[in-house]
Chains A and B, each alone.
Chain A
């Protein structure tokens, strides 16, 4: 079955450490996205990528970095520069980056930094 796999489901890190969240899709989608969700709130866009080797900052990119070396993969690194990294992170993809293309989401990674 096609879908998006995020791993791990839960991640715990000490403050000051970088951490990388994995996102893999086998939907053959061109576009991929990373969102952050805080308790009781909507989603905020961190980074997005329309094609391989190209990505753009979203609304809250500070303290995060991404790479898109393969069409299937879009890992997100939460760096020590991110002031409040504890959150629920959702990876998504869409067939194309177009206004009529719905997002398909992974199951999310819940990151806790202490």
Chain B
């Protein structure tokens, strides 16, 4: 079974609006971390936000927030006030405590911000 599932291959959002990118995960570990990365067309991967399995509050970093629903095993990324520079591919990833050397990545969501 896929450990990380991103069901939206592509998403469009109007500039200045908010957008939610979906991510569900599968693990039997108690200790795990969930990450979101941004990959612009230039190719580099940029770390955006982290949520730990024991964190009770949703993580926030500037315009990025993570909607963490542990019981549903979902970790959706919310980008507020979208900007043209947010157009990129976004990857959800997980590191498990029992196998921390191996980060597992989803297939990504391509976000296009329209002016």
Contacts and interface: CB of A to CB of B under 8 A. Distances in A.
Given A42-B106, A42-B107, A43-B91, A107 B101 contact: no
Interface stretch (B11-19, B30-38, B64-72, B73-81): B30-38
A110 B42 CA distance: 11
Nearest to A47: B101
Interface string A35-52: 000001111110010100
Contacts of A104: 47
Interface range, A side: 20 to 34
Interface string B85-115: 0000001010111001111011110000000
Contacts of A105: 37, 44-47
A18 interface: no
Interface of B: 4, 29, 31-33, 35, 37, 42-47, 50, 52-53, 91, 93, 95-97, 100-103, 105-108
